[in-house]
Structure 1
């Protein structure tokens, strides 16, 4: 389900790259692995696994979205 999208996209602010719209778990994986400021937090790891699971259809889209938001909070990234 690589094209699966969340019911509500997440706007996330990166210090060095400005605002980005994350529409689903596939987008989230790209940002988690290419732009994330800190890739060692427990919530980062959980979000990465959840988003991968959602892309593969093993985890619900909304669970992956919640885990992504928690990882953003852990990394002190602003979301809306």
Structure 2
């Protein structure tokens, strides 16, 4: 990855409740990818794989940051880590 990639940001950050680190504000595809790879509670869902791939694509310039954000939101819904979601048990 190039040095400027972490600077990519979304128009609207995404709040997630992670099982180990608690509430996180995710500002772009780089931070999203770190959470997906290092701390995501469920790596078996189809939305997880798509979000991971699209975040990498955004960092490589093959997708827009906003495309990555939409898939990250879908993965967050799938994993029940959005604020107000009670299905996930830490």
TM-score normalised by L of structure 1:
0.92
When the two structures are aligned, how many residues end up with a matched partner? 80
Residues 72 and 79 of structure 1 are in contact (CA less than 8 Å); yes or no, is this contact kept in structure 2? no
Whole-Å Cα distance in 1 between the matches of residues 68 and 74 of structure 2? 10
Higher relative contact order (CA 8 A, sep 6+): 1
Q: CA deviation at 1:15?
A: 3.0
Whole-Å Cα distance in 1 between the matches of residues 76 and 69 of structure 2? 11
Q: CA deviation at 1:59?
A: 0.3
Query: Which of 2, 13, 28 is 2:17 aligned to?
Result: 13
Residue 8 of structure 1: SS of its match in structure 2?
coil
Residue segments in structure 1 that go unaligned for 5+ positions in a row? none
Structure 1 runs of 4+ aligned residues shifted over 4 Å read none
Q: CA deviation at 1:11?
A: 1.1
Residue 39 of structure 1: SS of its match in structure 2?
coil
Q: CA deviation at 1:40?
A: 1.2
Whole-Å Cα distance in 2 between the matches of residues 16 and 29 of structure 1? 16
Whole-Å Cα distance in 2 between the matches of residues 4 and 36 of structure 1? 21
TM-score normalised by L of structure 2:
0.83
Residue segments in structure 2 that go unaligned for 5+ positions in a row? 85-90
